[in-house]
Amino acid sequence: MTGNSPDRNHIPQHLQLSDVRKEIDAIDDELLRLFVERMHAAEKVAMVKKRDNLPITNLDREQEILDAFEQKAGEFGSGARTLLAALIDISSAYQQKLLYGEDGKLRKRLMTAGHILKGSKIACQGTTGAYSDLAAKQFFGEDAEPMFFPKFQDVFDAVTEGYTDFGVLPIENTTAGAVNDVYDLLTRHGFYIVGETDVAVNHCLLAPKGAKMEDIREVYAHPQALSQCARYIQLHGFDTNEYSNNAVAAQHVARWNDASKAAIASRVAGRQFDLDILEEDIQDIDGNQTRFIIISKHLVIRDGADKISLTFSLPHQTGSLYRVLSRFAANGMNISKIESRPLKGKNFQYRFYLDFNGNVHDENVCSLLCALSTEMTHFKFLGNY
């Protein structure tokens, strides 16, 4: 591609910045005119695709066009590719809105979602005094009486079978990160997130009555709690044992009544199982918190909901994730979290989990979600809460 490339080793003395800015303004005006013209052409493309029942996106053709565009641009190839990719994405989103704006399946589901959480039966993993118990009471009220199950899977099963209306599960911790098992189960079961609550995690070292610090040889807790107290455990030279839940670990330590065994759990769990608190706030980082989500079989979007979660997978192509994320930025939407999990049976391919700020009743938000739902494989809207 040829153009009026300047001699970088010689800048004319008469050349002023204001003159160059005027030149750029004129080019931008021409770009704007061509952009509008291109979008009108996209309308015609949408009509033809609707008539001939063709898909909006054709990834193979897009890659061919982008490759050729990059090559033609020479030294500016990378930037040119990014520019054209953005134009293609904007065009695809516009075509999606024209073809499925009011009739898309996802749009209908979002617009007909309930607004009130109905039901009072709650499932939690663990036992009384667990952090999930605290989360349930924090979200549903102190009078909440959750049913407790040994495993995360059991919580999902309880909601699936209708034994409970909701499940309360940890999804991430500020120190130990994501609870990957819950992410995987959430996708597998196709449930919705209808709420969330953050619980302050203040771990205590709990031991049988009369036990002293020098007696302790082993500690029992959930792997996340062990990770959150790793420095403390190493400092004291404790052996570690993983348990399904911190409160369950405390329950067993109380039953064994062995002064050499202690649990890492909450103060509430210590009171529940009549254990001595040998030391409080033993987590490595102050301000440690766990985010719990409320899951349901039914989509509920309460008034004032301001966070949206979704999951999707992408083709294994250069820039595919960037192109998705740039569409959120282009619409002024703030992404607050992104997590990836490997797709089973597909080497080096991933499923992404994404949180961003917004409400589905915002037309820009709804249009973007509807567009992504038709363009992406394994797209799933997880909730607006």
Contacts 24+ apart (CB under 8 A), 160-163: 160/189, 160/297, 163/121, 163/123
Extract the runs of DSSP E, i.e. beta strands, from the chain: 122-125, 147-149, 166-173, 177-178, 192-200, 204-207, 218-221, 239-242, 261-265, 276-279, 289-296, 307-313, 335-342, 350-357, 377-384
Between CA 46 and CA 41 the distance in angstroms is 9
Cβ-contact 80, 355 below 8 angstroms: no
Angle among Cα 318, 322, 327 to the nearest 5 degrees reads 135
Contact status, residue 229 vs residue 264, Cβ threshold 8 Å: yes
Distance CA 269, CA 277 (A): 10
Question: Is 128 a catalytic site residue?
Answer: no
Sequence-ordered list of residues with C-beta below 8 angstroms from that of 98, at least 6 positions apart, any chain? 43, 46
Those residues whose C-beta lies under 8 Å from the C-beta of residue 181, and which sit 6 or more positions away, are 152
SS3 label, residue 269: helix
Q: Are 334 and 282 in contact (CB under 8 A)?
A: no
Q: Which residue has the tokens 């649990």?
A: 263
357: tokens are: 């700020």
Which one from 127, 164, 175, 290 is the annotated catalytic residue? 290
383/198 Cα distance (integer angstroms): 17
φ/ψ bin of 281: left (φ > 0), alpha (ψ from -120 to 50), beta (otherwise): left
- 292 labelled catalytic: yes
Given 149, 292, 312, 381, which residue is catalytic? 292
Side-chain half-sphere of 379: how many Cα atoms within 13 Å? 15
Active-site residue list: 290, 292
